[in-house]
Amino acid sequence: MAWNEPGNDKDPWGGKQGNEGPPDLDEVVRDLRKKLGGLFSRRGDGENSGSGGPSLGGAGVSLILGVIVALWLASGIYIIEPAERGLVLHFGAFKKVTQAGPNWHIPYPVEQVIKVNVDQINSFRHKAQMLTRDENIVDVELTVQSRIQDAVDYEFQDQNPDKTIQDATETAVRETIGKNKLDFILTEGRGAVAVQIKDGIQGLLNLYKTGLIVTSVNMQPAKPPEAVKSAFDDAIKAREDKERQENEAHAYSNEVVPKARGAAARRVADAEAYRDRRIAEAGGEADRFGAVLTEYEKAPEVTRERLYLEAVESVLGKAGKVIVNVEGGGNITYLPLDRLMNRASANGEETATPETATAPQAQAAPADGAKGERPQREEARTRRVR
């Protein structure tokens, strides 16, 4: 009859039901040890397997339990790779971080270890259409690379850090693109925009304590949507033409302005030289007039006569001359000496060589010398008059 059939007063632990109390715990332990000892009992040679024999007793059980405990403790040994960090949990609560190398923890279920790779670079691509500051739509595509900086925050502070970094990228990109104009994003501002996006993503990751650090943000050249690409290309071409014309204008300015400044400086120098020369000539005339005045005061009549002769000489020297011979009452002979002299000088200029063409410049010196000799002639004439 089974123990659980009606009318059977025995329980599965060998006790009796009725008014008796619960089974003794010590008795249950002794029965369990006996059963374990029976499993490892040794039997003599030739004996029936159904007959009982001497058991190992308490020493055998202790040895087995010792081996089991040793194996259990040995299961707590673990190795952390150089690129990993070990997070030790004590009954599910974080306890400490272990570094690379062999380590030990109290085996499961007391403690367990979570290994986190902190050197692995994770990357993902993000592509979307954004609205710029000047209300233009632009296609933006970039690649974000990150790694784990704080393993504790990565495992326990954020439920899904990988999803968080994608959301942070979306937010940072929209904020950065919305603060800049289209021309700046498409031309020289691409590097600056990538830096701003990286800083924005990192700020959000730090705010949510994800334990991630952004290593790089590689932004592809932004481009307009296909619907407005032709108009945008025209705008780009116009901007390039503008830059080319500006460069040409700067080059022309750099070429012309120095020449103009040189010409201006040369004219200023010529004017200053003319001024100095005129001042010197005026000073010389004043000195000469003073000398004449002194002589005039000494001999007024002689001085007036000399001045008259000099004036006549100066006037007649520039006027045309006609020589008339009226002796005998015959025909008047007209000699156009001025025309003959002009014709002779014209013929001489036509036959002059390049070396002789510079002769008038060389002959200018005697004319100046003649001016210098005029006071000497006047002084000699004054002596003769005296």
Taken in order of first residue, the domains within the chain and their CATH numbers are: 74-117 (no CATH), 122-224 (3.30.479.30)
CA distances (Å), origin 318, targets 157, 315, 359: 113, 6, 22
C-alpha 266/C-alpha 334 separation (Å) is: 51
CA distances (Å), origin 77, targets 73, 106, 108, 111, 112: 8, 9, 11, 12, 11
Q: What does the pLDDT profile of the chain (386 residues) look like in tens digits?
A: 444 444 455 444 444 444 444 555 567 666 666 665 665 554 444 444 444 444 445 677 788 888 888 888 887 788 888 888 888 888 888 888 888 888 888 888 888 888 888 888 899 999 888 888 888 888 888 999 999 888 888 888 888 888 999 999 999 999 999 888 887 888 778 888 889 999 999 999 999 988 899 999 998 888 877 777 787 778 778 888 998 999 999 999 999 999 999 999 999 999 999 999 999 999 998 988 888 788 788 888 887 888 888 888 888 877 766 666 666 555 666 666 667 777 777 776 665 544 444 434 433 434 444 444 455 555 544 444 34
Please give the sequence-ordered ranges of beta strands (E in DSSP) within the chain, or none if there are none.
77-80, 84-90, 93-98, 101-104, 111-117, 122-131, 137-148, 212-219
The one-letter amino acid code at 24 reads D
**C-alpha closest to that of 88 among 114, 116, 55:** 114
Distance between start and end Cα atoms, the chain: 188
Residues forming beta bridges with residue 122, ordered by sequence position: 146
Torsion, Cα 104 105 109 115, to 10 degrees, reads -80
Cβ contacts of residue 158 below 8 Å, gap of 6+? 164, 208, 209, 210, 211
Please report the pLDDT score of residue 348 as a whole number: 67
Residue 229, exposed/middle/buried by CB under 10 A (0-12, 13-18, 19+)? exposed
CB 212 within 8 A of CB 149: yes
How many other CB atoms are there within 10 angstroms of residue 56's CB atom? 17
pTM for the model: 0.46
